[in-house]
Amino acid sequence: MSKGVYIHIPFCVRKCLYCDFCSTGDHSLMKEYVNALINEIKEHKGTFADTVFIGGGTPTVLGDELIRVINAVKEAFRLEPSCEFTVEANPGTVDYNLLSKMKEAGVNRLSLGVQSFNDNELKALGRIHSAVEAKEAFLMARKAGFDNINIDIMLSTPHQTLESVKSTLEAVKEMNPEHVSAYSLIIEEGTPFYDMELDLPDEDTEREIYYYTVEYLKSMGLERYEISNFAKTGYEARHNIKYWTQEEYIGLGVAAASFENNCRYTNTCDIASYINGKRYDEREFIDKDEQLKEKFMLGLRMSRGVKYSGEFEETIEKLIAKGLLEKKDGFVHLTEKGFDLGNVVFMEFV
């Protein structure tokens, strides 16, 4: 069966204040990194793949080097004709020229890290672009021929109010993307946000914002198919769905994770070690029991839920009684309350 391919580009113009991904604003190792990455890509020559996702970091900071990576993927892997090929882009790092080259090279889905259409919020997040630049990037992408675009927005960020979210959503509507990822901000340990005093919306406002977003996107024809992901019919991100349905994927580059032969591998986070040939430094065997648990822990993130044939009956019934899960048409899935309190459900499967 064809696999998913994830490629990590650990470079950004600068790191955002909330970001705990593996990325850096130091570009001195960029060239060597791309060479090492292409070598790792080549190791998989002949492997069938039907989704590719180049993420980061900010893949688009590579400029033309990114095109080399894309071409290497096409050469090494046997991509299905219908392959979904996504690249993440920061609106502050793209121009029409680069977008056209990407499209020409075979990228058919673009994921734009917009986060907000409010300049105050963008500044508080430490983003490098303005709301206007985000709109421009979107329009350029359309002009370059992208007919499958995702916009990332962030909810419950510093200074955000229900009113400011409304205006961001109105701008999203104006753009009319095929897919939206709307993430609630998570304050991660080790990020500057963790140690800062932030003006964040309270729990009740936070939920109001989320519900409003879900309803608003729905009215645009974007259905929630996962906790934080919304798409027009047929535009669900096939690559990401692999993560939640335990399909196999190959992660290439630093910090990238693979899931193959019942094992989860995670590559080293250290760029220099990676360049010197180091690969995974974590390997976790996922046995049958664990796989069954993960089926629920991951699968229940999606609106359609998990095809259900009586596993963990007692737990499932308990969660149904608490109003967190629901059974329907042979599936078990989160209720509205379950979407708010997903961890209470997921916790039962770790």
Q: How far apart are the first and last CA of the chain?
A: 28
State the minimum distance, in angstroms, from the CB of residue 184 to another protein.
Answer: 4
State the minimum distance, in angstroms, from the CB of residue 144 to another protein.
Answer: 26
227 binds another protein (CB under 8 A): yes
Q: Which of 167, 266, 273, 335 binds another protein (CB under 8 A)?
A: 266
Q: Segment near another protein (CB under 8 A), from 64-72, 88-96, 137-145, 205-213?
A: 205-213
Q: Segment near another protein (CB under 8 A), from 33-41, 93-101, 109-117, 336-344?
A: 336-344
Q: Segment near another protein (CB under 8 A), from 23-31, 39-47, 127-135, 258-266?
A: 258-266
| 244 within 8 A of 228, measured Cβ to Cβ | no
Q: Which of 78, 207, 238, 278 binds another protein (CB under 8 A)?
A: 207
Token pair listed for 257: 């994770």
309 binds another protein (CB under 8 A): no
H/E/C letters for each residue in the chain? CCEEEEEEECECCCCCCCCCCCCECCCCCHHHHHHHHHHHHHCCCCCEEEEEEEEECCHHHHCHHHHHHHHHHHHHCEEEEEEEEEEEECHHHCCHHHHHHHHHHCCCEEEEEEECCCHHHHHHHCCCCCHHHHHHHHHHHHHCCCCCEEEEEEECCCCCCHHHHHHHHHHHHHHCCCEEEEEECCCCCCCHHHHCCCCCCCHHHHHHHHHHHHHHHHHCCCEEEECCEEECCCCCCHHHHHHHCCCCEEEECCCCEEEECCEEEEECCCHHHHHCCCCEEEEEECCHHHHHHHHHHHHCCECCCEECCCCCHHHHHHHHHCCCEEEECCEEEECHHHHHCHHHHHHHHC
State the minimum distance, in angstroms, from the CB of residue 238 to another protein.
Answer: 13
State the minimum distance, in angstroms, from the CB of residue 243 to another protein.
Answer: 5
347 binds another protein (CB under 8 A): yes
Beta carbon nearer to another protein, 67 or 198: 198
Q: Which of 18, 85, 193, 249 binds another protein (CB under 8 A)?
A: 249
Site string for another protein, 130-169 (x = CB under 8 A): ----------------------------------------
> Total number of residues binding another protein (CB under 8 A)?
42
Q: Segment near another protein (CB under 8 A), from 24-32, 113-121, 203-211, 309-317?
A: 203-211
| 254 within 8 A of 22, measured Cβ to Cβ | yes
Name which of residues 271 to 290 contact another protein (CB under 8 A): 282, 284
State the minimum distance, in angstroms, from the CB of residue 145 to another protein.
Answer: 27
Name which of residues 173 to 202 contact another protein (CB under 8 A): 183-186
228 binds another protein (CB under 8 A): yes
State the minimum distance, in angstroms, from the CB of residue 240 to another protein.
Answer: 6
| Look-up of token digits 């709109």 | 135
Q: Which of 129, 224, 264, 295 binds another protein (CB under 8 A)?
A: 264
Q: Which residues contact 24 (CB under 8 A, 6 or more apart)?
A: 10, 11, 12, 15, 271
Query: Where along the sequence are the contacts to another protein (CB under 8 A)?
Result: 6, 8, 183-186, 203-204, 206-207, 210, 227-228, 240, 242-244, 249, 251, 255-259, 264, 266, 282, 284, 294, 297-298, 301, 322, 339-344, 346-347, 350
